[in-house]
Amino acid sequence: MSPAPARYIGLALLVGSIWGVIGVALAGQMLGPLAWVGAVASPAIGLGTAVVFRGFRERAPGVRVALSLISLYFAAGLFALAVGLADAARVIPNRNAAR
């Protein structure tokens, strides 16, 4: 596969950032400041998703629909992973209290 052009990388970073803002808008009230960790990580998530699913435009239409859904869930999972890692790194008294 040929190297990605700068425009492709720039658009992937931009789209990742836009989805990060959407993620904060949807989950910000429930997650609080932790949602911003996902927003900060979202450009990298967008770039990673673009690299993994690069070249799917040459596929059949049915495959493109399936891959678009898979890439959406993949990126949402990475957003949730970033938020979860930030939550796990926080110090919370009695988080793992012994019974």
Per-residue pLDDT of the chain (99 residues; tens, 9 = 90+): 567 688 889 999 999 999 999 989 988 888 888 889 989 999 999 999 998 888 787 889 899 899 989 999 999 999 999 999 998 888 777 777 655
In a domain, 31, yes or no: yes
In a domain, 96, yes or no: no
In a domain, 97, yes or no: no
Please tell me the total count of domains within the chain: 1
Task: Tell me the pTM.
Answer: 0.80
In a domain, 37, yes or no: yes
In a domain, 29, yes or no: yes
In a domain, 95, yes or no: no
Nearest Cα neighbor of 38 from 10, 61, 12, 19 is 19
**Strand (E) or helix (H) holding 23:** helix 6-31
- Cβ atoms of 12 and 47 within 8 Å: the answer is yes
DSSP letter string over 70-90? HHHHHHHHHHHHHHHHHHHHS
In a domain, 46, yes or no: yes
SS3 13: helix
Domain span holding position 55: 6-89
Q: What is the pLDDT of residue 47?
A: 93
In a domain, 94, yes or no: no
